[in-house]
Structure 1
């Protein structure tokens, strides 16, 4: 039976609150398994689209479609090489870690607030926790991808590039974990329980995809600052960003739908199912 808060109000006594610690070990295992499942499902697409193709296109190393075809050929003809490659491992680490952070925070909140195991949160604490996890993992991943697929010999990634990547990721995290619960009730669908699930799913797809129109320029400018270290004016850099903005935004939307749309739904859906079983 789930523990609930118990408050004693007699004079001279202290307020006592019980925690919901039922099957806490199983709940933590569910959090990890759901995060790994969702991360494994989205990593192949993301490693091909968002990182290698966009970075190689931005650096001029090879066109986006050529890069995508090369990655797809490796996935289909030599899958063992694809799934054991460093690019795939970096993406799996990034998204599994981000999902696990979100899941663990929900479990922590449900424990200390004596709420059902399947409950979720959407406030500042989730934004802060998922942002820290995603930023740290993503900055490491981006530094490796930029060196692997950039136009110049590997060199230290400049701090300004890290800063631009951080702004990009904060926008995406906010739109992926905080906006959907806020946006869902305002979508123009009926108020039945079944339709609310549809609204929640629609919001989970729409919010992170739409934010790419704003976040992609930060991504492209950061890459340009790495690939063209000096002798380039700011106007030249912005001209390059404008040139690549639309197709890169579409590519990042195609990546963000599996990453925080499909992946988020899989992670949340599996967690809800197994946590309700534990309850």
Structure 2
């Protein structure tokens, strides 16, 4: 070792390193493997806003067929429930207006369905009910498809959030309010010239529909898993928690929505009444029988129709995944 002249021993001189900008191409290539071992490519994050950031792709697989499935499922469910619902709606309207009792109206219309089904299927009430529920199911279905597409989720994905409630309510209320104004004019008080439906009746009909839509589309996906967790395996072999919730939730909400419906009808049928106690007396009188009728109406509408729409759509979507 050589004296450094500073009071210490000078160690072996290290090999001088060439500056990076003076290295030859062959030397850079030789150094690359070592660099890649120190910093693997998968651990180097791209800088924000760089071209290397890749957006998650949409799930557009069989999108056309998926939209066709949404339409076919909605139309099938609506065709199945429209005859019975149109008869029940007519019975409720005629009972509230004093034309006929609910039972007499239902019996007469049901006989017509059995003897001359084409008279019911080709009627305006049938077409309006088909439009109400076909449009509502289709809106809910296409929202699920849009969500699964933009979020890259499976085609069978079903949502239950605010967007679905808002979209389904808008579709249902928009068509249903038009249906109600036609029904009250067709089956209103005898001998009274049909008149425009007033804003208070429209508002009450809208509240009624919001309650039903929330219980039919938003509650079952949330309540179904909770019910399934409480059902034993033997019961789940025959019925799932989702199916039970799909039947129970829309039916139970009729206890609250029926008086709202009756109040709206009474405003139309008796426009000169100003005392709310007089209106409440009529609502209370018809509450029990109308609630029973609306439960019988809502079970096919959002129970049978909801299950048919859900299961048909899921079965077809599973083939398109």
Give the shorter-chain TM-score range: over 0.9
SS of 1:45's partner is helix
SS of 1:114's partner is coil
In structure 1, the partner of 2:259 is 217
Q: Residue 63 and residue 234 in structure 1: after superposition, are their counterparts in 2 closer, same or farther (change >3 A)?
A: same
**Counterparts of 1:9 and 1:146 in 2: how far apart (Å)?**
65
Deviation at 1:195, TM superposition (A): 6.0
**Counterparts of 1:9 and 1:196 in 2: how far apart (Å)?**
51
Q: Does the CA-based 8 Å contact 2:273-2:279 persist in structure 1? A: no
User: 1:211-237 CA deviation, whole Å, 9 max, x = no partner?
Assistant: 000000010000000000104421010
Residue 115 of structure 2: which of 77, 80, 88 is its match? Answer: 77
Deviation at 1:184, TM superposition (A): 1.8
**Counterparts of 1:162 and 1:191 in 2: how far apart (Å)?**
46
In structure 1, the partner of 2:102 is 64
SS of 2:152's partner is coil
Q: Does the CA-based 8 Å contact 1:185-1:196 persist in structure 2? A: no
Q: TM-score scaled by structure 1?
A: 0.93
Residue 126 of structure 1: which of 164, 167, 181 is its match? Answer: 164
Residue 183 of structure 1: which of 204, 219, 223 is its match? Answer: 223
In structure 2, the partner of 1:10 is 46
Q: TM-score scaled by structure 2?
A: 0.81
In structure 1, the partner of 2:209 is 169
In structure 2, the partner of 1:271 is 313
User: 1:101-157 CA deviation, whole Å, 9 max, x = no partner?
Assistant: 000000000000011111110111100110000000100111110111011321000
Q: Residue 66 and residue 54 in structure 1: after superposition, are their counterparts in 2 closer, same or farther (change >3 A)?
A: same
Which structure 1 residue ranges, 4+ long, deviate > 2 Å from structure 2? 12-15, 185-188, 190-197
CA RMSD in angstroms comes to: 1.7
Q: Does the CA-based 8 Å contact 1:98-1:130 persist in structure 2? A: yes
SS of 1:19's partner is coil
Q: Does the CA-based 8 Å contact 1:184-1:196 persist in structure 2? A: no
Deviation at 1:185, TM superposition (A): 2.6
SS of 2:196's partner is coil
Deviation at 1:181, TM superposition (A): 1.4
SS of 1:21's partner is coil
Q: Residue 85 and residue 217 in structure 1: after superposition, are their counterparts in 2 closer, same or farther (change >3 A)?
A: same
1:31 aligns with 2:70: yes
User: 1:160-193 CA deviation, whole Å, 9 max, x = no partner?
Assistant: 0000000000000000000111112332313799
Residue 147 of structure 2: which of 87, 106, 109 is its match? Answer: 109
Structure with more relative contact order (C-alpha pairs < 8 Å, separation 6 or more): 1
Q: Does the CA-based 8 Å contact 1:56-1:149 persist in structure 2? A: yes
**Counterparts of 1:172 and 1:16 in 2: how far apart (Å)?**
39
Structure 2 unaligned runs (5+)?
A: 1-43
1:148 aligns with 2:186: yes
Deviation at 1:17, TM superposition (A): 1.7
SS of 1:157's partner is coil
Deviation at 1:82, TM superposition (A): 1.0
**Counterparts of 2:299 and 2:54 in 1: how far apart (Å)?**
46
In structure 2, the partner of 1:4 is none
Structure 1 unaligned runs (5+)?
A: 1-7
